[in-house]
Amino acid sequence: MISLPPQAVIREVGLRDGLQSIQTVLPTALKCEWVSAAFAAGQREIEVGSFVPARLLPQLADTAEVLAHAQTLPGLKASVLVPNLKGAERAIECGAHLMILPLSASHAHSLANLRKTPDEVVDEMRRIRAERDAAGSQTLIEGGVGTAFGCTLQGEVKPTEVLRLLAALLDAGADRVSLADTVGYADPASVSRLFEQALRLAGDRFCCGHFHDTRGLALANVFAALQTGVTRFDASLAGIGGCPHAPGASGNAATEDLAFMLQAAGVATGVDLPQLLALRQRVVNWLPGEQTHGVLWRAGLPQNL
């Protein structure tokens, strides 16, 4: 008999992981409209952007403004990605609920994506924790270990290295940690094994799974993780996003498809699916010519749901 938790959280990452991966620069007003509509549809955790230099990611140059809007919505936990201490200082200054420091378990991917080795990122975590504490800030810090199941640049990434880095991030001051299948190499069996090990290592401080749908297994991988007891998952509306180092990638797990799968399995998410599908259509209209993904929107909701 399959045992599933009674509820789960879908953290929307389309406004960061999605928008940074496409050419369209969405106006701030539309981003704020997206946040408000997602909130109205029941989403309570949204990654609103990233504090990176505007010259590198003009798509996310207005993160502070979008974060400020998100903070007007009662009960919404707004998070931001920070690549370094400077980004963390901005997150603290702006009062983000959570900041996520990404780390690639793949040495090659880490150098290509962050220009730091994995252990140098751990050192950055230590500096970020010290800065957060010195500022008396309430902003939580999450260490996200990416390429946890393999890497297009390096190939194999050993589970022992992933677990070592999870432990190192916690020792360096992360409040919690998460795992990401950045390039879509995971499968349900490998997810079950690694997530069970991560839970033994970090307990309830292991908080989230992030799956890309590069090979069509994102939802299957979420289901495998769900069975281990993990109850928070990243997803992107219309499946936008991906990784520049994963040729042929088809984006993130689609928020609407994930919400449907969880609801159909009896796992509550608090998400209103018709409202979410309506928002998906609006967002797709805002992104003409951009590649979107997902399947629920084609057939709609079954009558017996």
CA–CA distance, 132 with 147 (Å, rounded to integer): 27
Report helix, strand or coil for 160: helix
Determine the residue type at 87: G
Closest to 100 (Cα-Cα) out of 177, 195, 31: 177
Report helix, strand or coil for 117: coil
Ranges of H-type helices in the chain: 28-40, 63-70, 85-94, 107-114, 118-134, 159-171, 188-202, 218-228, 255-264, 273-286, 296-299
Closest to 1 (Cα-Cα) out of 269, 179, 227, 154: 227
Token code pair at residue 64: 């502070």
Q: Report DSSP state, residue 253.
A: P
CA–CA distance, 294 with 219 (Å, rounded to integer): 11
Determine the residue type at 105: A
Catalytically active residues are 243
**Other CB atoms within 10 Å distance of the CB of residue 298:** 6
Closest to 142 (Cα-Cα) out of 104, 100, 171, 181: 100
> CA-based Rg of the chain, rounded to a whole angstrom?
18
